[in-house]
Amino acid sequence: MAYYPQTATNETFEAAAPAANLNLRHYWHVVLERRWLVIAAFVSVFVLCLVYLYKAPRVYEASTRVQIDRETDSSLNLGQAIMSLGAMDQDYLQTQYKNLLSRSLIETVIKKEKLAEDPRYAKELDIAKEVTDDITVAPIRMTRLVEVSVQHTSPQKAANIANTLVNDFIEQNTVLRQKRTLDMLFFLKSQANGLERDVAKAEEEIQNYRMTAKFVSLDANFNLIADSLSTAQAKYAEMKARAQTAQTSFDELDRHIKAGKPLHTFPTIAADAKVSSLQMTIISTERDLAVLLERYKDKHPSVIEARTRLEETQRALDHATQQVVDTLRAEVALAKAAEENLNANVKEWEQRQMDWNAAKTQYDVLMRKAETSKALFNTVLTKMKEIELVQKDKPNNIRVIDPAAPPTIPVKPRIALTLILGAVGGLAIAIGLAFFVNYLDDSIKSQDDVETYLHLPFLGYVPNIKSNSVVERDLQAHLHPQSNAAESFRTVRAAIALGSKADKLRVLTVTSTIPSEGKSLVASNVAIVMAQTGLKTLLLDSDMRRPSVHKAFQLHSPVGLSAYLTEKTNSIDELIHTTEVPNLDVICCGPSPSQPSELLGSRRMMQFMQEISRRYDRVIMDCPPISAVSDPLVLSAMADGVVFVTKFNKIRREHARRTVQRLQDAGIHICGVVLNDIDFEGRDSYYYSYYYYQNRYYSSYYRARGESKTTAAPASAAATADKTPAKKA
């Protein structure tokens, strides 16, 4: 098993780089690679969370605060009441807490609030138990206060149940104290009844008059009409001034336009943030353009780009200026319309104020009559209350401090917490799923995979060549020598030349694990870049099952290797075809024979290899895939080394490892691995972003040099390759 350690420079660099950063970068690449899976999983979990929040019933909690004092013997026994403050009987309090949840009290609440018909409890067998479960009695530490909380899907219902429960509890506690004789109060009540009727009649007359007058209030201290009239007048005055100001500003703008001055110099328009920003951008762009014109000519891309940017900014400035003008025009129209509406509103309120003044006179007469009746009634009622207080022996020791109000925010489900948990959980599940899928994905995608799992040197990468033409792809290094792909093939050439046993690597085979991994593309272009160095190079198509070299070089029915091995010809010169690539010759496969493996392993094949090795400095052999046939093993044994090609994210590590193991078990030297078909600008950019930007930098350098010479050479080379077949030696 051949393994080539890193150089001292690489070891120093790896020692200096923090392992944590490498791990984080790897994790980030995994997430980016599976980004759609991460997004889909996150959105799915979050949508499920939203569905739960949407379908889950909203549960509201209403609370009422009650104060429970210790019972005293008499309402007048203040000393005992004060003494009891420091001697709270815990047994008594605990008893009251349990009484609040007593079944009899709960059933009373169920009957009053009609909870048997409530959808929340209608299907329950034991409604009292379910209602009790929704009630919480929580004493407040170190106080005589207790919080009674009720949960329900209806906020109003929750408040009603809490208030009814507490009120019934207080009423139940008061029943034992209110069995008093009321005989002594009979006389006063009989008198009070007559006065009460008079008061009710007077109030009824007032109410009828209010309904007839159709005014919400006739109280001088609560005159909504006067307040509204004052407010309308103030708004009208303010809007009138604003309309005049807007009209004046717009008139000034008209004079500015008639004077032929630019719109953006008008103060209001110039003060606009967007207009000001665009003017600054134009000044900056004009300054940059002036600097570029001092350095470049008018047709330079940077100058063209600067002028384009200046024109776009000028158009944006004109558009923004027109928007401000339209806004000013709209403000004038709106201000005038608002002024007219407010004027009509003031007149309406003035009329309503005069109607209110007329109704107020009659209302005051009825009010004086009602107040006289109320004064007599209150006098009698006060006497009755005094007698009732004297007759009471014991006060009620339980009172409501804060009655329950309908809550506005539900306590269940907890939306914020659920959304946070959904987001965090969804993100965790999504990232975990991405790492799980990445764990299951064992294809070869990077240099680390090559060196870690195959234990082979990494020769280089080949970018995705976006062309369906065989000629365009296999002759990429010749037709487009300044392309990223051509530079990658030169990198492979350099890696082979600087690798182990480089001085002995004259005959190289190029193979792969399975078909369609790009071995023919790599073989053709590596042969081209080697020939470009001045070495006399031969490209040999030794794939006798699916030959492709003749298609790339456009050789129609050529005499090839199969003719020589079947002894149909004895002259190697008849097999050799020259190409328009200097120093590069090609030998095609020729017609596919019936027994290719036997021919490739014959003595005549060995003689052929010896002869071409003497004639050429480098021989590149395009071989079949190793997993398909045994031919590459036979051919690689005759060569000095093997260039192993694998396609990005296609071959499983174990499959590739076993293929490499077959070569190594046969004692064949493997020069290294070429990673093919990487989309630097697309789906694979997160794996090789460094190489992508590096190649872009050098590509721009080559383009700059090419512009100073000629742009027709690549096109003519491509046309020649497409139309003129390779010449025969």
Task: Work out the pLDDT band at 78, boundaries 50, 70, 90.
Answer: very low
Q: Express each pLDDT in 524-541 by its tens digit.
A: 999 999 999 999 999 999
717 part of a folded domain: no
- DSSP structural state of residue 677: E
Say yes or no: 513 and 622 in one domain: yes
Say yes or no: 516 and 632 in one domain: yes
Closest CA to 2 of 532, 567, 673: 673
Sequence-distant (6+) residues with CB within 8 A of 389 are none
Closest CA to 673 of 497, 458, 444: 458
287/306 Cα distance (integer angstroms): 10
Q: Express each pLDDT in 406-430 by its tens digit.
A: 988 888 888 888 889 888 988 899 8
226/236 Cα distance (integer angstroms): 15
Give the pLDDT score at 8. 38
Give the pLDDT score at 721. 36
CATH of the domain at 490: 3.40.50.300
Give the pLDDT score at 558. 78
Q: Express each pLDDT in 581-619 by its tens digit.
A: 999 999 998 888 888 888 888 888 898 999 999 999 999
Say yes or no: 127 and 252 in one domain: no
Q: Express each pLDDT in 295-341 by its tens digit.
A: 777 777 877 887 787 778 777 777 777 777 777 777 777 777 776 77
Residue that terminates a domain, selected from 636, 656, 679: 679
707 part of a folded domain: no
141/376 Cα distance (integer angstroms): 48
In angstroms, the Cα distances linking 272 to 249, 277, 309, 321, 323 are: 15, 9, 21, 9, 10
Give the pLDDT score at 180. 46
Say yes or no: 466 and 358 in one domain: no
Between residues 706 and 428, which one has the greater pLDDT? 428
The count of domains in the chain is: 3
Say yes or no: 670 and 591 in one domain: yes
527 part of a folded domain: yes
pTM above 0.75, yes or no: no
Say yes or no: 243 and 359 in one domain: yes
Q: Give yes or no for residue 439 having a pLDDT over 50.
A: yes
25 part of a folded domain: no
Say yes or no: 584 and 663 in one domain: yes
Residue that terminates a domain, selected from 655, 679, 703: 679
435/285 Cα distance (integer angstroms): 47
- Give percent of the chain with pLDDT exceeding 70: 78
Give the pLDDT score at 524. 92
Residue that terminates a domain, selected from 661, 679, 697: 679
Across the range 246-271, mean pLDDT stands at 68
Say yes or no: 368 and 479 in one domain: no
Say yes or no: 71 and 136 in one domain: yes
616 part of a folded domain: yes
Task: Work out the pLDDT band at 261, boundaries 50, 70, 90.
Answer: low
Contact 484, 595 (CB under 8 A): no
459 part of a folded domain: yes
Give the pLDDT score at 89. 67
Lowest mean pLDDT among 138-147, 402-411, 715-724: 715-724
84 part of a folded domain: yes
Give the pLDDT score at 539. 93
Say yes or no: 601 and 548 in one domain: yes
- Measure the CA dihedral 520/521/527/530, to 10°: -150
Task: Work out the pLDDT band at 46, boundaries 50, 70, 90.
Answer: confident
Tokens linked to 636: 């690689």
Give the pLDDT score at 710. 42
Say yes or no: 149 and 277 in one domain: no
358/350 Cα distance (integer angstroms): 13
Say yes or no: 317 and 251 in one domain: yes
Return the SS3 of 43: helix
Per-chain mean pLDDT for the chain? 77
Range of the domain at 383: 220-391
Task: Work out the pLDDT band at 196, boundaries 50, 70, 90.
Answer: confident
145 part of a folded domain: yes
Q: Give yes or no for residue 405 having a pLDDT over 50.
A: yes
Across the range 389-397, mean pLDDT stands at 64
Contact 209, 363 (CB under 8 A): yes
